[in-house]
Structures are given as structure tokens and as C-alpha cells.
Chains A and B, each alone.
Chain A
Amino acid sequence: MTLRLAAAVAAGKIARAGLHALGRGATALPGIVTLAVDPAAIARIGERLAHGVLLVSGTNGKTTTSRMLADVARAAGWVPIHNRSGSNLDRGIAATLVAEAGWGGAPRGDVGIFEVDEASLPRVLARVEPRAVLVTNLFRDQLDRYFEVDQLARRVAAALARLPEAATIVLNADDPLVARLGEGHRGRVLFFGVDDAAVGGHVAQHISDATHCPRCSSRLAYARVVLAHVGEWSCPACGLARPARDVAATRVELGRDGSRLTVAQDGSAGVVEVPLPGLYNAYNALAAIALARAAEIPFATAARAIAAFRPAFGRLEMVEAEGRRLRLILVKNPAGANAAIGALLERGGRHRILAALNDRDADGRDVSWIWDADLEALAPAVEHAVITGIRARDLALRLKYAGLERDRTAVVEGWDAALGTAIAGTPPGGELVVIATYTAMLALRATLARKGYVRPFWED
């Protein structure tokens, strides 16, 4: 225990206490303060965790997958330290460790489970030696921040190649941008993927992050496209193809509120019930199972924990408000939006929607992405849409071009007014689907919290 680490932890704790006294969720500032005093804080505290550090990265699915994994760890009798509130840059991880450490820096848990923003992964990997790292997928996200997905993939691959041999890398074989990320690693690489020939997407895939072979640039061939560039891919020119899956979903049955996966690994098969709807949540569960295997947690334990899972802030969270059910769906990019749309279409019927588009830094400042989301597929399934947020008018225009008639939309400014209108327009006992970008979801949730319908998200 060094004096420097103690000082760093103390500074972080004081910052956090100060922010809480002001009534603000303290998820990033304490981390900035801690790392400023001791840049090695994450590694030093991390080293003392008996089961090590598990990192979850990728564009979509990090929060749900890491929360599932935290539940799996608890079911295995471990005590996870987890950056639950989604602050997934290195400062957020440091802040979590500070909150969960004693004043001398001794951690109060025995495994670290951290969601890591994919652009921060290289920096975080330089600061800590993880037991395992998972990459779920790589999509174009927040155009103004992550300019080129190829460049990002190269940076992540280079960072992963520097990991010690003892670390395990867990990768999505169905994503051609991810499948090769472990090539420079001398240690174990575990692949997961969906092998059910009946599984494909409901929405047209107009997104083109990587339809070209990452090795030779020829066009990839797809036997099945699941979402954007994820699916059963191969290169007809150089032969690059999906690596063999160590953990494979050989059957995926999609239901109204969840799915059932048959998972094959090491010659045996087991079933896991996933209580969140949509193919993308089936992938999240599969990723959690693969990472649990890398951490040597038995499949039965993982399946039990996942079956009991409840979703996170804004990720298909269900909230009761004034006798209606609100289903909160966070979207950040076209792939995520299409996945959410696909899940809604799978359920059939028409939906009442509250859609909120912001363009702050955390939402992505360039809203061009909404033109790549397949809202044409959504429009016929919309009973009515209340539209709000800083860029509500852009979204209303997008929906007009997607074919949604004017009398089925209403632009309402102000979070209270928009929520009020949307809730009032939903029959009692009915469901309102709330689709929002990050800061818009924060604002809507804060409004719901003020009225007593949810706890402030940092108290989750």
C-alpha cells in the first residue's frame, strides 16, 4: 500500500462525497481525480482482486452483457465490483474502484467486471492486466467521435496483442471486424456465435461498416445476415471465414418477451432462458456465457443467473407509470436502432412510441445516423409517435420520409410535456415504448424519478 495510492483513493472519495452532497450522480469526476493523483490506481487495486478483472467492450451490448456477467459472478458466490452506471471510460472504472475500496485502497470485492468504451480499451488495457477481455461487436457509433471503424479495430487489435499470455480473449466470431482481433495474442482466444440457420434479421441492413474482407478487401459473402455486418460471413477470394465457435447457439427461439438458446460447447449442450426480447439480447446472453466460461464459471450457474436477470437503465427497462407500462430502449447508432426495431416487429401489433433525439457529445453530435436506421420498417408498426428532444424536428422529418403519416406523429417540446402527452395517449394497462439517445434517456428518467416512478439511475 503506497501513500500515493492512499492519497489518490482519498481524493476520489472526497470528490464523490462532495458530488453526492450536491445531489449529483458522481460517476466520472472522482475517477478523474484519482487517476490524476495516481495513474496506476486501477492496476494497483485490480491486482488485489482474487478472481481478477473481466473487461466487456464493443459498440452495442456492453451494459447488458456486463450486468448479466455480474449476476453470473454473484451466482458463483463471488463479490463483483462493477461500473454499473455505464460510465465506461477509464475514469469511470477508477471511480468505481474508489467507491468500492477502503480508504487504503483494499477492494471490497473479489472480481472486477468493467464495461469499457471501445475507444478507451487501449488505454484501459495499458492500465490493468485483465483475466479476460470480451469484445461483443464493432459498429459505426457516434460518427463525430469514432471516425473510422477500421482504424478503431486496428488500435484494439494492437492493444490486445500486448496482453500477457495468461489472459483470455473472448470474441464474437459472427462479426468480421471482431473475429481477427485476437490474432496477435499468444494466449487463449475463445469464440462465440450463432449457428442456427433459421436466424436472420427482420429489417433491411443498409449499414455498411465492414462488408469487405478485413484481410484482402474483397467483398464478403454472407450465408446469413443477422444485423449490419454480423452474420455467417466468409471471403470468396482469400478464404477468410468465421473462426470455429467454442460457444455456439445452435438454436435460437425468439418469443414475445425473451428468447431460449440452445448452447453447445465441448460436445455438450444446455438451454438458457433469456428474459429480454430480441436477437441482440440473445447475443448479449451468449457473450456473457462465453466470458463466464473464460472465468471458469460453470454453464449451469451462468444459465441460472441469466434466467433471473433484470435489465439496466434504459436497456429495455420496464417502468410502471400512471397505470401504463413504459419500456425504455436506449439507442445510439443505426445498428442498435435496427436491433430495437427488429425486436418490436417480432412482437407484432402496433406500438405507441415516445421517441427522443438529442445531439450532445454523449449522444453523438452528428444526427445523420437516423437516416441509416431502418425506420421504414418501423413506420407501419407505429400507432402513434410523440417526438421530443433537442433534434426532435430532424426525427419528425425522418419519420415523414419513412412514411409515417402526420396525424400519427406529434412533436412536443419539453420532457415533462412529452412524457405527459405520450402517457396520456396510451390506454391504461397499455404499453408505451420509449426510444431515446443517451442524454435524452437520462432526462426522461430524471423526470420519471422526480414523479417517483423510478429510482435515480446512480442508485441502481
Chain B
Amino acid sequence: MDLRICHLYPDLMCVYGDRGNVLTLERRARWRAIAAEVREHRAGERLDPEWADVYVFGGGQDQGQDVVSRDLAGPNGDALRTSLAGGAAMLSVCGGYQLLGREYLPAGAPPIPGLGVLDVTTRAGKKRFVGDLVAEAPQGTLVGFENHSGRTYLGPGARALARVRLGHGNNGEDGSEGAVQGRIVGTYCHGSVLPKNPWLADMLLAWALERRHGPVALRPLDDSEELAAQRSAAEVARAR
């Protein structure tokens, strides 16, 4: 059994430590004796819709995000949509999360279309949401660090990834954090998000492996360090 990870725009959309997510998927596969290969897709290269089992798409700076959305407006966007419709999984964080939605509404400017694979819309906000984020999902606690001025609202096609206990989450209004739709996950959690939230890493891993290998029961790993880090981060956040 093997795993294929595609890291999207690692040179542009990796400003906030999201490389740790690629590392986590890779290691957690290898620890289970599953070979893992990571390929990078950069703007201007041809994206192969058949290759990846899972994509990791992080957050970036404004100039970088323009280059990315131009790349996704062309055939690479179609290829990515096809790939996701064909069963590939996706973790998108912050800027990547926003770009997968229906559209982004900047203040006083025309809407920017997104890839449209997540039923969410993001509006530019004035205040920046920066700080520790603690949320509860049906599968476990979600702990991370958010840093965004965009406010994301879920449409009927997407459900929340988790409910906010501390912090702002998607928009600071409705208590939702992140989004899940099919095998696509979006979140505002940096941290990186997967190392401290092993349930999310394994959920994505199982989806990814299912694409070419059928349903997979992952052998449980010793997550004592992961959970110790998660608990400690949540405690520090609550104490502040």
C-alpha cells in the first residue's frame, strides 16, 4: 500500500508553518509501513488529476495568493476539480481554504471567484482574528492558532469542521470553525493543524488511501505526545 501527497504551491502558500501538515501525513503513513511520496505543484506546472490521493493547500501572502488564483483559473483548476471529484482528499488552511470556496468578497471591489469545491463564501473583514483557537469536533478536540481577516460563511452544502470554544473560527459570529464537504476539509487553524490533532490527520489519511486501495482500517499509533501537545496548548490558551 502506498500514499501519494501533493503539496500545492509550497513556495507561495506556506508562510505559516503548514509544511508540518505534509510532514505529518507522510510520517503517520510511514509509521504504519505505508510508503509515502510527496510531490509539489507550483504555479505554471501541469497538475495531473490522476496522481494525488491527498492535497495539502496552505496559507500565503497577498501577492502569492494572486499568482495562485490565476493558476487555478486555468486548466489546473479544472484538473484539481476533477481530481477531487474522483475521490482525492484535501486539507486546506486559511488562504487555501478561502480559495476553494465559491468566492471571496473584498471590501469595495468585485468578487473574486474561487475553485467552487467548498460551499463557503468569504468576506473581507476589518478586524484581524489572531490567537489560539480551541474547538470541539465530533471526532475530537481541535487546537490551533488562527490569523485571518477574512470571514467565512458556510452554505448548505458544507458542514462545520468543529464548534468554537475559544477564539473566533470561521467568522467570529456563528461559532463554526472550518468546513467539511465530501473529502475536502478547510480550516483556519495553523499550528500546524495536523500534528496536534491526530484524529484529523488519520481521517484524511484514511480517505486518501481509500481512493486507490479501498476502505482501510488504520492501525492505531501511540499518540501520547500528540495529545500531550494538544492538551498543553489548550491549557495555555485557556489560561490567557
Which residues of A approach B to under 8 Å, CB–CB?
Answer: 140, 143-144, 147-150, 206, 208-209, 211-212, 217, 219, 359, 365-372, 390-394, 396-398, 400-401
Contact A150 B236 (CB under 8 A): no
B16: which A residues are within 8 A, CB to CB? Answer: 143, 366, 368
Q: Which residue of the partner chain B has the closest CB to A376?
A: B23
Measured in the bound complex, the distance between the Cα atoms of B67 and A420 in whole Å is: 51
| Chain A residue nearest in CB terms to B190 | A368
Q: For the complex formed, measure the closest distance between the CB of B177 and the CB atoms of chain A, giving whole angstroms.
A: 16
- In the complex, whether B69 has a CB less than 8 A from a CB of chain A is no
Contact B23 A144 (CB under 8 A): no
Q: How far is the CB of B3 from chain A (nearest CB, A)?
A: 16
When A and B form their complex, which 7 residue pairs have the shortest distance between CB atoms, in order from nearest?
A: A368-B17, A371-B20, A393-B232, A371-B17, A393-B229, A397-B229, A368-B190
Contact size range, B: 35 or more
Contact with A along B23-63 (1 / 0, CB 8 A): 11001000000000000001010000000000000000111
Contact with A along B81-106 (1 / 0, CB 8 A): 00000000000000000000000000
Cβ-neighbour of B14 out of A372, A393, A394 (below 8 A): A372
A209 touches B226 (CB 8 A): no
B77, CB-defined interface residue at 8 Å: no
Give CA–CA (A61, B235) in the complex, Å.
Answer: 34
Q: A150-B63, A206-B14, A212-B63 are in contact. Are A397 and B196 (CB under 8 A)?
A: yes
A394 to B62, Cβ gap below 8 A?
A: no
The answer for the CA separation of A2 and B14 in the assembled complex, in Å, is: 52
Residue in chain A with minimal CB distance to B93: A368
Q: How far is the CB of A336 from chain B (nearest CB, A)?
A: 15
> Which residue of the partner chain A has the closest CB to B9?
A208
Residue among A150, A217, A400, A401 with most chain B CB within 10 A: A401
- A148 to B62: give the CA distance in the assembly, Å: 8
B78 at the A interface (CB under 8 A): no
Which residues of the partner chain B approach A397 to less than 8 Å between Cβ atoms? 195-196, 225-226, 228-229
Query: Which of A149, A217, A369, A400 has a CB less than 8 Å from the CB of B17?
Result: A369
Instruction: Check B159 for interface membership: any CB of A closer than 8 A.
Output: no
- Which chain B residue lies CB-closest to A360? B240
Interface centre among B11, B17, B66, B131, by most chain A C-beta atoms within 10 angstroms, is: B17
At the interface, yes or no: B238 with Cβ under 8 Å from chain A?
A: no
A144 touches B229 (CB 8 A): no
The 26 listed contacts between A and B (C-beta, < 8 Å) are A144-B147, A208-B10, A211-B12, A212-B12, A212-B67, A217-B63, A359-B236, A366-B130, A368-B20, A368-B192, A370-B17, A371-B18, A371-B192, A372-B17, A390-B236, A391-B232, A392-B232, A393-B233, A394-B196, A394-B229, A394-B232, A394-B233, A397-B195, A397-B226, A398-B20, A401-B23
B152 CB to nearest A CB, Å: 18
Chain B 165-189 interface residues, beta-carbon cutoff 8 Å to A: none
B233 touches A372 (CB 8 A): no
**Which chain A positions have C-beta within 8 A of B190?**
143, 366, 368
Nearest-Cβ distance from residue A3 to partner chain B, whole angstroms: 42
Distance, CA A212 to CA B63, complexed state (A): 9
Query: Which residues of B from 94 to 141 have beta carbons under 8 Å from A?
Result: 128, 130-132
Residue of A nearest to B131 (CB): A365
Question: What residues of chain B lie closer than 8 Å to A209, measured between beta carbons?
Answer: 15
A366 to B33 alpha-carbon distance, docked (Å): 33
Asked if B153 is an interface residue, CB under 8 A from chain A, the answer is no
In the bound complex, what is the Cα–Cα distance between A87 and B228 (angstroms)?
35
Q: Please state if A212 and B64 are interface contacts (CB–CB under 8 Å).
A: yes
**Distance between Cα atoms of A144 and B145 in the complex (Å):** 9
Contacts of A211 in B (CB 8 A): 11-12
**Is B191 part of the contact surface with A, judged by Cβ < 8 Å?**
yes
B11 contacts A208, C-beta separation under 8 Å: yes
B195-A398 in contact (CB<8A): yes
Least distance between B10 CB and chain A CB atoms (Å): 7
Please tell me if the beta carbons of A149 and B61 are within 8 angstroms of each other in the complex. yes
User: Contacts of A392 on B, CB cut-off 8 Å?
Assistant: 232
| Closest residue of B by beta carbon distance from A148 | B61
Bitwise interface map of B from 197 to 240 toward A, beta carbon under 8 Å scored 1, else 0 = 00000000000000000000000000001101101110010000
Question: How far, in whole Å, are A149 and B63 apart by their CA atoms in the complex?
Answer: 11
User: Using Cβ atoms and an 8 Å threshold, which residues of chain B touch A394?
Assistant: 196, 229, 232-233
How distant is the Cα of A205 from the Cα of B147 in the complex, in angstroms? 24
A112 to B61, CA, bound (A): 36
Q: Are B14 and A208 in contact (CB under 8 A)?
A: yes
B19 cross-chain contacts in A, Cβ below 8 A: 206, 371-372
Can you name the residue of chain B whose Cβ is closest to the Cβ of A400?
Answer: B225
* Docked CA distance A367–B191 (Å): 7
Q: Which residues of A contact B232 (CB under 8 A)?
A: 391-394
A368: which B residues are within 8 A, CB to CB?
16-18, 20, 145, 190-192
Other than the known A372-B17, A391-B232, what 6 A-B pairs have Cβ atoms closer than 8 Å?
A143-B17, A366-B145, A368-B190, A390-B236, A393-B225, A393-B229
Q: Which residue of B lies closest to A409 (CB)?
A: B225
A150 to B192, CA, bound (A): 23
Residues of A within 8 A of B18 (CB): 368, 371
Measured between C-beta atoms, what is the minimum distance from A129 to chain B in Å? Answer: 32
